[in-house]
Amino acid sequence: MAQPTAIVPDKGIRPGYNETGTIIAKSILVKKVAGTDDDSVAVAGDGENVFGATMQAIGLLARGDVQVDGQAIVTAGAAVAAGAEVTANSAGRAITAVSGDYICGLASTAAAADGDAIEVELVGPASGRIKA
């Protein structure tokens, strides 16, 4: 498999502040933390609305870059076909969206298994639609 490539447009990166109590790994889908008016993020859960993908690991009480637009490198949580609408699983990894999930993007490349790095064309921060 070729090396995954990120394409980050101007204004496609936002800050993310991790106050979750654990490190958030690189290439993980994250959500905004409800009830905060700052840039706090946490790992996105099953089918939740996604803010973006981490561009590097974000340590505890640290800030890091979150890609919110363009083609991001994301860790897959299962096999994913190229062109599939994707959402987050409970570990913030990309999986194929099913009915009722928020769609955070389209897989540009395929994943053969959990842990593979794939390219996902993000739909933008908190702008995913619910899969019918």
Indicate the domain borders of the chain.
Answer: 13-67, 70-122
Strand partners, 76: 94
70 with 13: CB under 8 angstroms? no
Weakest-pLDDT range from 34-48, 82-96, 98-112: 34-48
22 with 62: CB under 8 angstroms? no
Does an H or E element contain 117, and which?
Answer: strand 117-122
pTM, whole model, 2 decimals? 0.93
Distance separating alpha carbons of residues 51 and 56, to the nearest angstrom: 15
Residue 132 banded pLDDT, cuts 50, 70, 90: confident
